[in-house]
Amino acid sequence: NVAQIVEIVVPCPTPAEQTTLAEYFDGLVARRDETTGRLTQQIELIIERRQALIAAAVTGDLEISGVAA
């Protein structure tokens, strides 16, 4: 019924509260983006070091103590 729908009260934050919430969520997004960037750098470094380790093992440049060559 349309009359019942018209009577529904939908809470809406004040403009000041909306601004505060927007600033808060902008901060969260910025933190997420920064964390994503750091994690991406770490993954790239891990991949690079993994490749260097494999190359060293294949070419015999890797020395492991306690293991005969």
C-alpha 67/C-alpha 34 separation (Å) is 42
- At 46, phi and psi to the nearest 5? -60, -45
10-38 tens-digit pLDDT: 999 999 999 999 999 999 999 999 999 99
More confident residue, 29 or 60: 29
Q: State the pLDDT at residue 68.
A: 63
